[in-house]
């Protein structure tokens, strides 16, 4: 039996190189100031889906919600073997918390034919690990979180091993189901050169629009519109137009989207300042080290 | 959907497995007690399981005024769907103003599912909770006595204070090990309220085929002194230095992720964002650069000694004693000094 997988992926700022300066005053992220990458565990999610496809057949649809630049992770997924890619981009998604994000994603996933929904365990920017379970609840399907190994797919059931902190658990559930995948689950494959050649030119309509505007800054609006429409239909004919959906298209109730649809609000953001507390320099010689130990015994730090 | 309910109680999810309470709900009790007292409401624990009634007294000893107890054969083993359903119904019935969960794997599996069903907010992995006021910019309205949910995000690079002022309950998961355990008081009395869960076999969406519990090789959270080694230690053989120093101090040996990845020591010893959070009296960091993800797990230590041959290493910015030098020289000198004093 073949399985259709939907993989949810997120483009994230590379938090290893982030500073407080990359935050806007309202607590949102100035993504433009940071290198953007494929959320690491979403690569594991995609790899899990690819392995299912390799073994059983079926199709893989990747979906991301984000700004136009997030088209890059969709393209990257096509390089690695995804069949279809969808960008959900809409200014009204801005400032969505995990509840609103999972609601919007659920509206999109419902438009796709799926047996298995695969998420990364956690995104390295928001760091919540909440979107997966919330999406499962909204879709009304079971969840297997913290998956470290896919054990078996058999007809309409899936068996996986999940991390439970102090050990592991092997669980089985009926499809459709949602998995959240950890970095232990697999080694993500790299992009295939042939697919890279093929999909290098795959773009979302918004990317085409931005590019056309940049190249024809003098032209008037109507001309640009016509040009964009023409380029998009050309791409579509070649199977290189990445789908782009907005909130109207997915049929989302705007009351549950964006800032207004988000019960959590940011009160304050502080960048972590390394606390330079009272400190002493200790020379690396016997005397200084012995004095330090003496001090630590005196103040009862060492019993 | 539940609105703002100022009379609502403060709740803690009493995570238990096989009749054994986890540490996190107990850790949460002291903070939750303080929140309830500050708000002038009762503190309750939500305890679910099968034959777990005897745990209720323990929760009361640790500070709960009430325990909502749901016993049901289908709740014997935790799984997200059945537990979420039972807790959601309970939340709907009593409308607590705050619900706290440990940010354990179970808490992180369960709480989002409840939040989604309740259409409530959920703040992830908090390291602190406070009560405070917030004025909305749009309309200048003052919202008093909100739960300030304080959490690191962006890989620990920022600290965000999250609030919910219009849709309640205010729910959060709280990181393990960041709140000190309260002392139990066996004289405390409280109320046990038995509730029924409307559950059928259909609610058990998972079949648990096998479970393998692996006790941690070390209890870092309980250690009063920790000696941690990093990639700078150089090899598994040389990591003996860390064990030796730890042994003569009666300390627990720990490590950075880099040291674990290099195979110097087992992953159970890892301190940091993806390891254990510790707050010992003394933390000795040997050959550790002090990456933000490592600091996330140890910056609350009372005293920090750092040994590193790079004066620029970030660990020195949070160290109380800074030793710039070769660890292979410094650590033996420390061992010698300790042996001389004792
Ligand atoms: C500083 C800060 C703190 C925050 N704290 C909270 C908080 O405590 N509670 C809260 O509700 N919101 C919070 N948010 C908002 C939250 O980051 C966003 O809602 C975000 O879109 C999703 O959460 P995440 O990044 O934590 O994803 P996670 O829940 O960690 O992501 C898990 C998986 O879900 C999928 N996924 C997540 N986002 C997308 C997407 N946009 N498109 C496709 N798939 C996706 C991926 O598979 C991903 O691996 C915070 C935001 C900031 C800036
Ligand atoms: C999502 C994420 C989660 C992470 N979680 C964690 C976590 O939980 N815990 C964690 O620790 N890390 C974590 N990390 C990794 C973290 O970013 C660092 O890579 C790691 O902490 C570095 O370990 P280290 O200090 O041992 O190694 P290095 O950064 O390589 O530092 C080695 C240090 O040893 C010093 N040194 C070398 N030789 C000597 C000598 N002879 N004498 C004295 N000093 C010497 C060097 O000057 C250097 O400062 C995480 C990273 C990511 C991206």
| Distance to chain B for A133, nearest Cα, Å | 6
* Per CATH, domain B220-341 is 3.40.50.1220: yes
Element at A175 (helix H, strand E): none
SS3 of residue A126 by DSSP? coil
Q: Is the pLDDT of residue A35 over 90?
A: no
pLDDT tens digits, B231-255: 999 999 999 999 999 999 999 999 9
Tokens of A51: 């392995």
The Cα A302–Cα B303 span in angstroms is: 11
Select from B311, B293, B307, B318 the least CA-distant residue to B241.
B307
- For B8, other C-beta atoms within 10 Å of its C-beta total 21
Tokens of B13: 């999810």
CB–CB of A171 and B207 under 8 A? yes
Q: What is the mean pLDDT of residues A145-162?
A: 98
Residue A212 pLDDT? 95
| Distance to chain A for B254, nearest Cα, Å | 17
The Cα A22–Cα B140 span in angstroms is: 27
Mutation probe of ligand 1 site: the residue of B151, B162, B173 with most atoms within 8 A of C-beta: B162
Write the ipTM. Answer: 0.91
- pTM metric for this prediction: 0.89
CB–CB of A145 and B105 under 8 A? yes
Specify burial of residue A5 (Cβ count, 10 A radius: 0-12, 13-18, 19+).
buried
Q: What is the mean pLDDT of residues B88-107?
A: 97
CATH number of B10-203: 3.40.50.620
The Cα A86–Cα B324 span in angstroms is: 53
**Domain span(s) for CATH 3.40.50.1220 in chain B:** 220-341
Q: Is the pLDDT of residue B335 over 70?
A: yes
From the list B104, B210, B281, the residue facing A165 with the nearest CB is: B104
Specify burial of residue A174 (Cβ count, 10 A radius: 0-12, 13-18, 19+).
middle
The Cα B216–Cα B23 span in angstroms is: 14
Q: Is the pLDDT of residue A276 over 70?
A: no
Q: What is the mean pLDDT of residues A133-159?
A: 98
Asked if B262 and B278 count as a contact pair (C-beta separation under 8 A), the reply is no
Nearest protein Cα to ligand 1, atom 28? A129
Confidence band of B115 (pLDDT split at 50, 70, 90): very high
> What are the φ/ψ torsions at residue A226 (nearest 5 degrees)?
-65, -40
What structural domains and CATH numbers belong to chain A?
A: 5-204+242-256 (3.40.50.620)
Ligand closest to CA B287:
2
User: Could you identify the atom of ligand 2 that is nearest to the CA of residue B272?
Assistant: 8
Residue A18 pLDDT? 59
Tokens of B326: 């070769």
Report residues whose beta carbon is within 6 angstroms of any ligand 2 atom.
A 16, 124; B 155, 230-232, 256-259, 270-275, 287-289, 291, 293-294, 297, 307-310, 313, 326-328
Cβ A13 under 6 angstroms from ligand 1: no
The Cα A142–Cα A176 span in angstroms is: 8
* % of chain B beyond a pLDDT of 70: 100
Q: Is the pLDDT of residue A19 over 60?
A: no
Measuring CA to CA, how many Å separate B330 from each of A169, A252, B144, B230? 44, 63, 53, 15
**Domain span(s) for CATH 3.40.50.620 in chain B:** 10-203
């Amino acid at each position: 039996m073949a399985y259709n997988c939907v993989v949810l992926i997120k483009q994230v700022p590379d938090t290893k190189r982030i500073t407080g300066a990359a935050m806007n005053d309202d607590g949102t992220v100035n993504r433009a100031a940071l290198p953007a990458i494929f959320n690491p565990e979403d690569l594991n999610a995609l790899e899990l889906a690819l392995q299912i496809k390799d073994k059983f057949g079926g199709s893989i649809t990747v979906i991301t919600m984000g700004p136009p630049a997030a088209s890059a992770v969709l393209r990257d997924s096509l390089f690695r073997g995804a069949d279809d890619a969808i960008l959900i981009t809409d200014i009204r998604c801005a400032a969505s918390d995990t509840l609103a994000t999972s609601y919007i994603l659920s509206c999109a996933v419902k438009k796709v034919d799926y047996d298995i929904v695969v998420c990364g365990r956690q995104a390295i920017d928001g760091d919540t690990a909440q979107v997966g379970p919330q999406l499962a609840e909204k879709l009304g399907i079971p969840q297997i979180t913290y998956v470290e190994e896919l054990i078996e797919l058999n007809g309409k059931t899936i068996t996986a091993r999940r991390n439970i902190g102090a050990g592991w658990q092997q669980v089985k559930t009926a499809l459709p189901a949602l998995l959240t995948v950890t970095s232990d689950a697999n080694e993500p494959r790299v992009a295939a050169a042939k697919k890279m050649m093929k999909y290098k030119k795959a773009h979302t309509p918004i990317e085409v629009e931005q590019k056309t505007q940049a190249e024809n800054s003098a032209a008037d609006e109507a001309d640009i519109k016509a040009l964009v429409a023409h380029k998009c239909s050309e791409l579509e004919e070649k199977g290189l137009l990445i789908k782009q959906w907005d909130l109207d298209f997915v049929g989302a109730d705007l009351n549950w989207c964006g800032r207004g649809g988000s019960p959590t609000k940011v009160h304050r953001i502080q960048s972590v300042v390394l606390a330079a507390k009272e400190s002493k320099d200790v020379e690396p010689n016997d005397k200084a080290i012995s004095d330090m130990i003496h001090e630590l015994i005196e103040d009862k730090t060492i019993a | 959907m539940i609105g703002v309910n100022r009379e609502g109680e403060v709740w803690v999810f009493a995570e238990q497995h096989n009749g054994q309470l986890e540490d996190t709900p107990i850790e949460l009790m002291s903070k939750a007690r303080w929140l309830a007292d500050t708000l002038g409401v009762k503190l309750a624990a939500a305890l679910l399981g099968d034959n777990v009634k005897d745990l209720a007294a323990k929760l009361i000893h640790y500070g709960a005024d009430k325990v909502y107890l749901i016993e049901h054969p289908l709740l014997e083993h935790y799984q997200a769907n059945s537990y979420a359903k039972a807790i959601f119904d309970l939340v709907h019935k009593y409308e607590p103003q705050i619900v706290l969960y440990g940010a354990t794997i179970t808490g992180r599996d369960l709480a989002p599912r409840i939040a989604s069903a309740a259409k409530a907010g959920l703040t992830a992995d908090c390291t602190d909770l406070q009560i405070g006021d917030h004025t909305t910019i749009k309309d200048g309205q003052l919202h008093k006595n909100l739960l300030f949910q304080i959490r690191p995000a962006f890989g620990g690079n920022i600290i965000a204070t999250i609030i919910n002022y219009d849709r309640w309950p205010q729910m959060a998961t709280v990181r393990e090990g960041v709140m000190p355990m309260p002392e139990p008081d066996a004289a405390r009395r409280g109320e046990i309220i038995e509730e029924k869960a409307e559950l059928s076999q259909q609610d058990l969406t998972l079949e648990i085929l096998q479970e393998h519990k692996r006790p941690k090789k070390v209890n870092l959270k309980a250690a009063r002194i920790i000696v941690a080694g990093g990639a700078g230690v150089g090899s598994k053989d040389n990591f003996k230095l860390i064990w030796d120093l730890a042994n003569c101090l009666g300390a627990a040996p720990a490590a950075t992720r880099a040291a674990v990845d290099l195979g110097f020591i087992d992953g159970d010893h890892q301190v940091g964002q993806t390891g254990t959070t510790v707050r010992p009296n003394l933390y000795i960091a040997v050959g550790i650069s002090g990456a933000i993800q490592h600091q996330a797990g140890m910056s609350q230590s009372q005293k920090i000694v750092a040994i590193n041959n790079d004066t620029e290493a970030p660990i020195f910015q949070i160290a109380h004693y800074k030793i710039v030098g070769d660890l292979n020289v410094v650590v033996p000198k420390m061992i010698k000094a300790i042996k001389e004093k004792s």
